[in-house]
Homo-oligomer: A and B are copies of this chain.
């Protein structure tokens, strides 16, 4: 297989996900027409958008370890997108977030279906129950997509331990995040740890390892290079998320302006702001942070405090330093030049994005 850069890889991943979905959704619909909304909602969520970050890193991880691309490998790496679909659907229930990518979150979609069809019981409860099951199903589909990818048996067996570790880390990281929010922690160190588990490992390092393990006989040196690149870049990626959550353009993010401020999300950016704020700034920030009724004037004031304390600038510096570390990890050989090119490109995309 030959591809024209990241865009070509993304296209192949999308095609592969589309084929998998067609097959699995046909099976679901055959069980009963009651499952049509489940198939429809999962299809839209999976196929309408998404940057395919984790499948891309896994594919590049495979290439970097000297693997030769095949449709089977693309199927295996694409499966990581379904793990992410599970994480996002469940995340929206856990955060009670009503929108995702500019559309109603899955639990809101099924709440709406319950209302529209005049079903019995609580529509909110129906929405939550459906979203839990759709997330579970996505996680199971992910495993099925990997198992049925057609890659050689030894590649599957070699990959399962990394795959399991990635998924345990994801769920542990998610719990750390939920717990951190409940602590209303102001510790920069603690929120960096959450970022490390929630995103550093799960989004970049582990997908690279996953890809390397699909390439039979990848060396420990390759794994090390991927950690050297993936961990700092994953943190930088999460810090960029923090910035977008506060300063992002709703047109691009699909979320309301200043959404993280209204939700009172305890991010590294917020911890940094509070650690640098003087007492007046601190009082004003805490009075408004997390208020559901924040208007655009108040959002601007909170943003101003984040800028004035120097927290935004420091975060941007951290992103730069960590991105530099990531690039640097690639500059000492050990993986294929093609993968180095791709990974340098991905590092820019992951940290300079606006959504």
Binding site for B on A (CB under 8 A): 24, 27-28, 31-32, 34-35, 38, 86, 90, 93-96, 114, 119-121, 125-126, 128-130, 132-133, 135-137, 139-141, 143-144, 147-148, 153, 156-157, 160-161, 164, 167-169, 171-172, 174-176, 178-184, 193, 197, 264
Contact partner of A172 (CB less than 8 A), chosen from B31, B128, B174, is B31
| Contact in complex: A121, B182 (CB < 8 Å) | yes
Question: By CB atoms of chain B within 10 A, which of A139, A172, A182 has the most?
Answer: A182
The 19 listed contacts between A and B (C-beta, < 8 Å) are A27-B168, A31-B172, A31-B176, A35-B175, A93-B128, A94-B133, A120-B182, A121-B181, A121-B184, A126-B182, A132-B135, A133-B174, A137-B172, A139-B140, A143-B143, A147-B160, A147-B161, A148-B161, A153-B153
| Contact in complex: A128, B35 (CB < 8 Å) | no
| CB within 8 Å for A175 and B130 given contacts A136-B86, A139-B139, A157-B156 | yes
A31–B169 CA distance with the chains assembled, in angstroms: 9
Name the CB-closest residue of B to A166: B140
| Contact in complex: A93, B132 (CB < 8 Å) | yes
Known: A35-B172, A35-B175. 14 other contacts (CB 8 A): A34-B179, A34-B180, A86-B136, A90-B133, A95-B129, A119-B184, A120-B181, A120-B184, A133-B171, A133-B175, A135-B136, A136-B171, A137-B171, A140-B164
Name the CB-closest residue of B to A266: B120
Name the CB-closest residue of B to A87: B136
A193 to chain B: which residues have CB within 8 Å? 32
The copy count of this chain in the complex is 2
A160–B126 CA distance with the chains assembled, in angstroms: 31
A96 to chain B: which residues have CB within 8 Å? 125
In the complex, the 8 A-B pairs of residues with the closest C-beta atoms, listed nearest first: A94-B129, A119-B182, A120-B184, A144-B164, A140-B167, A147-B160, A137-B171, A129-B178
Contact partner of A147 (CB less than 8 A), chosen from B164, B178, B182, is B164
